[in-house]
Amino acid sequence: MKKTGVFLGFQPGSNLSTEGIGRLLAFILKENDEKKTNIILFCPKWLTNSVQILLKDNKIPEDRFEIVSTSNIPLGVKVKNYLIERRIKKARFDQKNQLIKKLKKTTLESLRKLAIDFFSANSLLIVLFKILGYMSLFVCLLPFLLMAGAGYFFVKFINLLVRILIKQLPYNSILNKIKPLLTNGRGAIYQVVLDNELNRVVDLINKRTDIDVCFIPSMIWSQIRRLNCRKILAAPDIVFYDFPTQFPGVGRVHERIRESIAVADHLICYSEHVKKHHLIDKCGVDPNKITVIKHANIDMNEHLKISKSIQKFFTIKQNAKQIVNEYIYSNFSSSHVLYNVDFEDLDFVIYSSQYRSHKNVFNLIKAIKIINNDMHGNIKLILTGDYRREEAIKEYVHSNNLENDIFVMHNISSELLAALNKLAKCSVNPTLFEGGFPFTFSESYSVGTPSVMSNIPVVSSEIDDPNLKDLMLFDPYNPYSIAEKIVWAIDNAQTLFDAQDKLYQKFSQRDWKKVVSEYNEVFNKAAR
């Protein structure tokens, strides 16, 4: 029996469970006929664990699909992983230094309090008892203090010695000059290592006689030009066509995308907007080679289900709170503002997305600042995309004292995402562009939470009711528009939820079985 291959070339460290492409792939795999294991997943060795986690996270039995990978992880990838681990350890070491500084501060404060207590005594007998007590304590702690002091000064001495030696080395200035060249060269070499491994994945597919069609869920893997079988390419979007100034230095990425499009036998995208404006107008693709397959609703309820035997004693909302609390207790210290918070009573909104510049996180953060500082509100924001890699946003959050209003929970499971959506007052999506109607709407609505979203073409084109557009859409370029819509949505959550019912039911007319049947139709036509 002929089978369909799936080519996966995501980079080392990718978490498919949090990637939109990965989650879409999971929905397709889950609804594939379990009696016909006609899909084979091909990937580099470094990705196998992520694929297995994706299947487990979406409750897909791993034995339903054959996973074929390269035999080993390349040395270059192992070296980079080692360097990443070193950076993580250094960051942990820096945290330890912060703890040491905090301990020193606490010790000095304790000594100050002891001095005040000592000199506040008004009886000679009490003074004598205190002197004896302090001396006994000092004698007990003396060995530990001496060892700690010796260790501290030894480390300081070694660090000073190393810095002096480095400064005296004659080639130090030369190293500083060639360091940028070495960094660029290292990046180029690493990319070649990845490319070579993806070519090995291509070889694995070409060796199979039972693969006549291969589905490629991303356009950046131009190695697919060497595939002997028919190539079905997913084309979610080419976002920098719409926002070129936000994506500098994408020349090589663009070349790879165009190479993949050129060799694809057929393309699948998720909206008419991408088909016309990106693929036909910009890339010159024949319209007959493009099929638009829209998404179905995502039902997050399955991640919160509890057995009927305990439903009388333990509600779905309580289950959601327990899931969130377990995450908080495992990942945050007891001094964190969210520790021991009752999430059911917390006014928070959630934006579920990877961090990308066009996802418009900065304007959403500005909107939270407007709500809490200018409008005197008290709204918390939970992000699943880590904005902290952007120094400008980090500095904005810090300078506006928003650290206790905005929280990052990235690389989270579908179960935790469902729980957060269940407890949130509202889901918000300020994106400037999406290839299809955003998943965030059905993710939140399926567990009883309304949404507000950007007024962008791919969203507004799906909403027929002009009144609903006014209720749920905002101008993503205007933080005040985002802020006002969030406040209104929280104050009128039930009204908004009821108004969005028809939109949710409209999308419910398509389920993932229907979506998968449309994918299979494309695969079958290509195989003929």
How confident is the model over 121-139, as a mean pLDDT? 72
**The predicted structure's pLDDT at residue 170:** 57
Average pLDDT, the chain: 87
**The predicted structure's pLDDT at residue 182:** 44
Question: Greater confidence, 182 or 201?
Answer: 201
Q: What is the pLDDT of residues 376-386, one digit of tens each?
A: 999 999 999 99
How confident is the model over 122-131, as a mean pLDDT? 71
How confident is the model over 124-140, as a mean pLDDT? 74
Flag whether the pTM goes above 0.85: no
CA distance 76 to 162: 29
Q: Work out the pLDDT band at 419, boundaries 50, 70, 90.
A: very high
For the cut 60, the answer to whether the pLDDT of residue 34 exceeds it is no
Pick from 329, 400, 343: nearest CA to 371: 400
Question: Greater confidence, 449 or 64?
Answer: 449
CA distance 81 to 90: 14
**The predicted structure's pLDDT at residue 44:** 96
Q: What is the pLDDT of residues 319-347, one digit of tens each?
A: 999 999 999 999 988 889 999 899 989 99
For the cut 50, the answer to whether the pLDDT of residue 32 exceeds it is yes
C-alpha triplet 242, 431, 435: angle, nearest 5°: 55
Most confidently predicted of 91-105, 433-447, 487-501: 487-501
For the cut 70, the answer to whether the pLDDT of residue 291 exceeds it is yes
Q: Work out the pLDDT band at 178, boundaries 50, 70, 90.
A: very low
Pick from 485, 483, 461: nearest CA to 472: 485
For the cut 80, the answer to whether the pLDDT of residue 175 exceeds it is no
How confident is the model over 496-524, as a mean pLDDT? 93
Q: Work out the pLDDT band at 352, boundaries 50, 70, 90.
A: very high
CA distance 349 to 426: 5
SS3 state at 183? helix
How confident is the model over 414-433, as a mean pLDDT? 95
Pick from 514, 459, 482, 484: nearest CA to 500: 459
For the cut 70, the answer to whether the pLDDT of residue 251 exceeds it is yes
Least confident of 8-17, 26-35, 88-97, 417-426: 88-97
**The predicted structure's pLDDT at residue 346:** 94
Cα atoms found within 13 Å of the Cα of residue 199, Cβ hemisphere only: 8
How confident is the model over 359-364, as a mean pLDDT? 96
Spatial CB neighbours of 319, under 8 Å, sequence gap ≥ 6: 304, 306, 419
For the cut 90, the answer to whether the pLDDT of residue 259 exceeds it is yes
**The predicted structure's pLDDT at residue 146:** 79
CB 450 within 8 A of CB 373: no
**The predicted structure's pLDDT at residue 239:** 86
